[in-house]
């Protein structure tokens, strides 16, 4: 049986911060199954690879004998988490939330051990709070404490509206920790404020007996296929775990080369020293990024869908791209990353070089211009020859740079 120190070494991997680490070690030494909380709001229909980073850490706890408590925020999703937002989220109806969470259990169990997972919906307790309960929760914090938080502070300074319901979000998520008696909470860096609020509320608990404050384990945010923004449902730049193995393989192959080791560190068990060595080898051109990315894609697909599915997906990808032939539209769509634009941009005219940058297919306007001038840019099945050709933005528009960088534009109402 592993010692508490050996468990801590495994659990520390990849974490940005453990608050406080001494408390985590002390609880591991108690020798009992710890209750480890992770909350996911169903603001979209999919669990994606960004979620998979913290779900992997939750699985690590399970493999060490601890109890996972996965909370689907069917109540909090109707408010919308304001973390990192520059504008208010649109409020979802109960029907939208139910539709979004239809497949959450199936997708979560692609990563978690079903036998050691407690699956909860936070409407079970939040929906029962009385007005008096909510007032007592509100009295446990101050407006100043919330407004200093990044996001709120930026919006307040800019004069952007902040709904009163948004100020309640951290309190409701914090109360989840009390409801499930969490020993540990996992979350991304964008959730640090909410997680610390849970820790404070457990210690005070204005609605009942106080609890030992939870330990907060903060994980890094996975970058999306554009290489700059975090992966997120509201940003429309995510890779869903529940997609087909072929689509999953193709989307991982579409990430920029500089994200190979980022994905390696957060989504695989490759030792940190080996990740660092791979990063150095790619930077010095001693390792081929395409081969490293192909191994990464195969490993992630095998983890989520099994080794046979990974073999089939790699074979299908190879048939499309390795032959060096111009692939058909359907094959390109399978390998394309989805780039979502606001529906209000439908019909907008934009230079093709500008659109390549906005779609994450080029890092700068100069790089986009060179790609066009070198004959490597295709719009649908037509080669583009003028970097300043005006393109009308439309839903389903397919862009390709070279053989492997492919994006499809999707317009959505924000």
Place of tokens 């509206």: 161
Residues 284, 397, single domain; the answer is no
Cis peptide bond upstream of 413, omega within 30: no
The number of folded domains in the chain is: 3
| Residue 413 included in any domain | yes
Same domain for 71 and 157, yes or no, is yes
List, in order, residues 6 or more apart from 130 with CB less than 8 Å away. Answer: none
Mean pLDDT of 222-232: 76
Are residue 311 and residue 339 in the same domain, yes or no? no
Residue in this structure with the two tokens 């937002």, named with its chain if needed: 85
The residue range of the domain holding 349 is 335-414
Q: What was the pLDDT predicted at 89?
A: 58
What integer pLDDT is reported at residue 247 of this predicted model?
A: 84
Domain identity same for 314 and 341: no
278 vs 336, which has greater pLDDT?
278
Question: Are 73 and 116 in the same domain?
Answer: yes
Asked whether residue 65 is assigned to any structural domain, the reply reads yes
Give the CATH number for residue 319: 1.10.240.10
The reply to whether 343 falls in a domain is yes
pLDDT at residue number 334 = 62
Per cent of the chain over pLDDT 70 is: 90
Per the CB < 8 A criterion, the answer to whether 315 and 380 are in contact is no
pLDDT confidence tier of residue 243, bands split at 50, 70 and 90: confident
As a whole number of angstroms, the distance between CA 33 and CA 18 comes to 19
Q: Which of 70-74, 139-143, 223-227, 359-363 is least confident?
A: 223-227
Confidence band, pLDDT 50/70/90 cuts, at residue 388: confident
Do residue 339 and residue 318 come from a single domain?
no
Q: Which residues fall within 8 angstroms of residue 30, CB to CB, at 6 or more apart? A: none
Identify the CATH number of the domain in which residue 362 sits. Answer: 3.10.290.10
Domain finish residue from 284, 300, 323: 323
The pLDDT score that the predictor gives to residue 150 is: 63
Contacts of 202 (CB under 8 A, 6+ apart): 174, 177, 178, 182, 210, 211, 212, 213, 214
155 and 28 fall within a common domain: yes
**Helices 260-267 and 289-305 meet at what angle, rounded to 10?**
30
What is the end-to-end Cα distance of the chain in Å, rounded?
51
Q: Residue 28 and residue 5: Cα distance in Å, rounded? A: 8
Do residues 37 and 128 both lie within one domain? yes
């Amino acid at each position: 049986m592993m010692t508490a120190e050996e468990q801590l070494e495994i659990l520390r991997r990849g974490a940005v911060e453990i608050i406080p680490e001494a408390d985590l070690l002390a609880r591991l030494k108690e020798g009992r199954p710890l209750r480890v909380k992770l909350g996911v709001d169903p603001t979209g229909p999919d669990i994606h690879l960004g979620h998979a980073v913290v779900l992997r850490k939750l699985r690590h706890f399970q493999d060490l004998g601890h109890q996972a408590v996965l909370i689907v925020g069917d109540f909090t999703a109707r408010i919308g988490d304001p973390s990192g937002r520059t504008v208010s989220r649109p409020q979802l109806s109960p029907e939208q939330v139910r539709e979004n969470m239809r497949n959450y259990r199936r997708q979560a169990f692609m990563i978690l051990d079903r036998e050691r997972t407690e699956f909860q919906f936070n409407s079970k307790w939040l929906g029962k709070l009385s007005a008096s309960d909510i007032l007592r929760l509100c009295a446990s914090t101050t407006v100043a404490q919330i407004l200093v938080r990044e996001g709120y502070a930026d919006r307040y300074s800019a004069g952007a509206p902040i709904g009163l319901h948004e100020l309640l979000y951290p309190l409701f998520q914090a109360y989840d920790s009390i409801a499930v008696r969490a020993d540990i909470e996992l979350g991304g860096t964008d959730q640090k404020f909410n997680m610390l609020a849970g820790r404070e509320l457990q210690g005070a608990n204005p609605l009942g007996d106080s609890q030992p404050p939870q330990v907060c384990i903060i994980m890094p945010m996975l970058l999306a296929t554009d290489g700059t923004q975090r992966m997120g449902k509201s940003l429309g730049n995510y890779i869903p775990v529940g997609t087909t193995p072929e689509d999953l393989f193709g989307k991982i192959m579409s990430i920029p080369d500089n994200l190979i080791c980022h994905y390696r560190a957060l989504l695989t068990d490759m030792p940190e020293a080996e990740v660092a060595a791979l990063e150095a080898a790619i930077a010095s051109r001693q390792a081929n990024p395409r081969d490293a990315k192909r191994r990464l894609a195969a490993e992630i697909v095998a983890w989520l869908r099994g080794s046979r599915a990974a073999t089939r997906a790699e074979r299908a990808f190879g048939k499309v791209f390795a032959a060096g032939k111009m692939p058909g539209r359907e094959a390109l769509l399978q390998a394309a990353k989805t780039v979502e634009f606001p529906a209000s941009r439908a019909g907008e005219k934009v230079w093709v070089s500008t659109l390549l940058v906005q779609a994450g297919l080029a890092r700068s306007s100069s790089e986009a211009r060179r790609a066009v001038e070198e004959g490597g840019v295709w719009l649908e099945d037509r080669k583009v020859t003028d970097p300043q050709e005006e393109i009308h933005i439309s839903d389903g528009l397919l862009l390709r740079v070279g053989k492997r960088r492919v994006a499809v534009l999707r317009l959505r109402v924000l």
